[in-house]
Structure 1
Amino acid sequence: MLLLGLSLFIAAGLDPMVAWLHRRMPRPLAVLLVILLGLLLTAGVADLVVPVLVREITALVNALPHYFKELNDKSSFIGRFNDRYHVERTIRDALTKRSSSIATGILGVGRAVLGALASTVVVMVVSIYLLFDMPRFKRLIYGLAPRSRRARTVLLGDQIFAKVGGYLLGNIVISVVTGLGTWVWCVIFGVPFPLLLAVLVALFDLVPVVGSTIGGIIVAGVSLTVSLPVAIATVGFYLLYRFLEDYLLAPRIMRRTVDVPGLVTVVATLIGGVLLGIIGALVAIPVAAAVKLLLEELAAPRLEQR
C-alpha cells in the first residue's frame, strides 16, 4: 500500500509535465518522451559523475593503508585520537568477537539492498502505468463527486495535481543547491572526495527531515581525516545550512513552486514528520497546498456570503 501511494505521488508530480506535452502530441507519446528525458538525464549525470566517483572511490581504497598507518603514528591527529580512545583495538576486538554477527549483519544488509531495489522497480513500473492511465484514474476520482459540482471538482483536482508537480520540482532544486554547497565546502577545506560527497548529500537531501542531517554526518566524518577543527567547522556548517534550508531556502522555493507561505511550509513539514515520519514530511507540503486551495476556493466564499 505504501509503494502504491508513493507511485501515485510520483505519477501525480510528473503529470503536469505530461499534460503540457499532451497539448502538442498524443498522451502515450508524451509519457514516453518524459520517460526518455528521465533516462537521458540519468545517463548524462551518470556519464558525468560515475568516472569521477570511480576515481575517488579508488583513491579512497588506495588511501586506506595510509590511514591505517597514521593510526599508529602518534604525531598525527588520527594517531593521537587512536592512542587516546583505542579505536584500532576496539575495532579489532569487535571484528574478532562478533564475526558471526557481522556475517549476519552483512546478509541483512544484502537483503535490505535487494528489497530496496525491488521496491524501486515496483514504484517505477507502477508510476509509469499510472502516468499512461492518469486521465482514466482522474475520471474515476472525479466521478465520485456529485454531477452538479463535478466541474468544480475537476478544476480543483487539476490544480492540486499541478501543486504536487511543483513540489517535486522544488525539492529537486533544493537538493541540487545542497549538493553544490557541499562540493564548494569540501573543495575549499580540502575534504577528500568532494564530488562523491556532494552527490551523496544531494541524494540524501531528497529525503525530508533527516536527509540533510545524515549527509552532514557523513561529510563531517570524512573531514576528520583532514583535522578536528575542519570536522567541527563542517558540523557547524551543516547546522547553519540546515537552519537556512528549513527556514529560508525551502519556504522561498516552495512559495514559488507550490504557492504555500513559508510559515505554513515549516509547520506542515514539522507536523507531517511528527505524525507519519519521513513519508509524512514528504507529503506534508502538497497536502498543505491542497488544504490551502480548498479553503480559498470553497470555505472562504461561503464565509463571505454569511
Structure 2
Amino acid sequence: MESPAPSDRTRPAVPAWLATSSAVGGRLLVLAVLLWLLAGFAVKVTLPLVTVLIALLVAGILAPLVEWSHGRGAPRWLAAGGAVLLLVGVLGAVLLALGARIAGQLPRLREQFQRVSSDLSQRFGVELPSLGSSGGGGGGSGGGTSAGDLLGPARTAGEVVIAAFLVVALAYLFLHGGPGIWRWLLGKFGGRLREDVDAGGRAAWTTVGGYVRGLTIVAVFDAVGIGVGLLLIGVPLALTLAALQFLASYIPTIGAFVAGLVAVVVAYASGGLVTAALVLGLVVVVQQLGNSFVEPYVMRNRLPLNAATVLVAVTVGGVLWGIAGALLFVPLTAAVTAAAREVWVRHGSRPVAGL
C-alpha cells in the first residue's frame, strides 16, 4: 500500500534569504551574460559604433552654434553645413601647422630623446619608446621594406580616412535632420513608453552636450596655459605638446596625466633635469587650476557620475576600444545615467544614490 504524499505543511520551507538570494543571483547572472554578449558585439563592430558616437559628440559641440544661426534666419542645412565646415577648416589648419612644425623639430628632438633614453636605461633600467630610426636603413637586413610592412599602416590610414569622412557626414546629418530623426524614432513607440523615451533621450542629449562643451573649455584652458608656459621655458614642440594636452584632456583622469608626462619627458630630453622640473611644476599648477576652479564652474551639474564611475568607464572603454573607448565611454555612461535618472524620477522613484 502506497504511503500518502506528504502535505505542504510537512515539507521543509525554503529560507527566505535563500529564495531572495537565488532570485537576485539569477537576475545578475542573466545580466552578466547579456553584458558579455553586448561587449563582444561592440568589439566586432568597433569602427561603425565609434564613428556614430564621435559624430554625436561633434554634433553636441556644434548644436548651440547651429541653433543660434537657425534662430536668426539661416536655413538649417546652411547652418549645419557651415558649422561642420568651420570645424573641419580649423582642425585642418591646425594639423597642417603642427605637421610642418613637427617635421622641422623632430630630427633634433629624436637625437636628444635617444640620448636620454640610453641614459635612463643605464641608470635606472627604464626603457622609453623609440621615436624611430634616425639613420637611413642601416638595419641588419639591408633596410628593405616588404609589402607586409606597408599593409598594416596603409590599412590603418584607410580606416582613419573613412572614419573621418563618416564622422563629418553623420555630424552634418545629425545637426541638419536631428529633430526629424528623433520624431521618426519616437514614432516607433506609443503611450507612456514614448513619453519615457522622449524624456530620457532629451536628458541624455542635454547632459552629453553640456559635458562635451564644458570639457572643451577645460581642455582649452589646460592647453593654452601649458603651451604658453612651454614657449616661455623654451621647450621644443611646445605647440604640439599643447595640442596633445588639448586632445588628451577629453580622456578624463588619465589623458591629462599622460600628456603632462610626455611634456616632462620632452623637456628632460631637450634641456635636462632643471627644465623638466620647471615643466613638471607648470603642468601641476595649470592642471590643478583647471580641476579646482575652471572645471567645477563649467561642468556644474553636467556630469552625473562620481569619480569612481568615471575611472571604471575610462578603463572599460580603453580595454574594449582602446583610445576611442577611453574617450567615448564616459559621455556614453553619463548619457545612460541621465536618461535612467529622468525615467526613474518620472515614475516617482528616487534616483540611485551617487548618480
* TM-score past 0.5 threshold: yes
Aligned length: 286
Paired-residue identity, %: 21
Q: Are residues 298 and 288 of structure 1, via their aligned partners in 2, closer, same or farther at CA, if it must alter by over 3 Å?
A: same
Is structure 2 residue 32 aligned with structure 1 residue 32?
Answer: no
| Closer/same/farther in 2, CA of residues 214 and 101 from structure 1, 3 Å limit | farther
Deviations for 1:245-282, whole angstroms, at most 9, x for unmatched residues?
A: 667654543225x2x46xx3423322322333313234
Match of 1:4 in 2: 52
1:107 deviates by 4.7
Q: Distance in 2 between matches of 1:112 and 1:301?
A: 47
> Contact 1:216 / 1:238 at 8 angstroms: preserved in 2?
yes
When normalised by structure 1's length, the TM-score is 0.71
**CA contact under 8 A between 1:175 and 1:203: conserved in structure 2?**
yes
- The answer on whether the counterparts of 1:7 and 1:126 sit within 8 Å (CA) in structure 2 is yes
Contact 1:18–1:31 (CA<8 Å) still a contact in 2?
no
- The structure whose Rg is larger is 2
Aligned equivalent of 1:219, options 257, 263, 284 = 263
Counterpart of 2:119 (choices 81, 84, 92) is 81
Deviations 1:16-73 (A, max 9, x none): 55445444447xx2242233134335535765x5686466335415x62x975x799x
Of 212, 215, 218, the match for 1:168: 212
Kindly state the Cα deviation for residue 80 of structure 1 after the two structures are TM-superposed.
Answer: 9.0
1:289 aligns with 2:335: no
| RMSD of equivalent CA atoms | 4.3
TM-score (norm 2): 0.62
More helix by share: 1
Following the alignment from structure 2 to structure 1, what is the Cα–Cα distance between the partners of residues 315 and 307?
Answer: 12
Question: Residues 125-274 of structure 1: matches in 2 within 5 Å?
Answer: 125-148=169-192, 150-151=194-195, 153-223=197-267, 224-235=269-280, 238=283, 249-255=294-300, 258=302, 260=303, 264-274=305-315
Tell me the SS of whatever aligns to 1:255. Answer: coil
Shift of the 20–230 alpha-carbon distance from structure 1 to 2, 3 Å rule, reads same
Tell me the SS of whatever aligns to 1:191.
coil
Q: 1:211 to 1:155 in 2, by over 3 A?
A: same
Once residues 67 and 274 of structure 1 are traced to their aligned partners in structure 2, the CA distance between those partners, rounded to angstroms, is: 31
Gaps of 5+ in 1: none
Larger deviation: 185-194 or 31-40? 31-40
1:159-186, CA deviations, whole angstroms, 9 ceiling, x for partnerless residues? 4322222122112112211211221331
- Distance in 2, Cα, partners of 1:33 & 1:184: 34
Change in Cα spacing, 1:164 to 1:80, as seen in structure 2 (3 Å) is closer
The answer (yes or no) to whether the contact 1:12–1:164 under 8 Å persists in 2 is yes
Within 2, Cα distance between the matches of 1:160 and 1:83? 48
Q: CA deviation at 1:146?
A: 2.9
More off after superposition, 49-58 vs 34-43: 49-58
C-alpha distance in 2 between matches for 1:234 and 1:96 = 36
What amino acid is the match of 2:139? T
Q: For structure 2, list consecutive stretches of 5 or more residues without a partner in the other structure.
A: 1-47, 319-325
User: Matched residues in 2 for 1:209 and 1:113: separation?
Assistant: 28
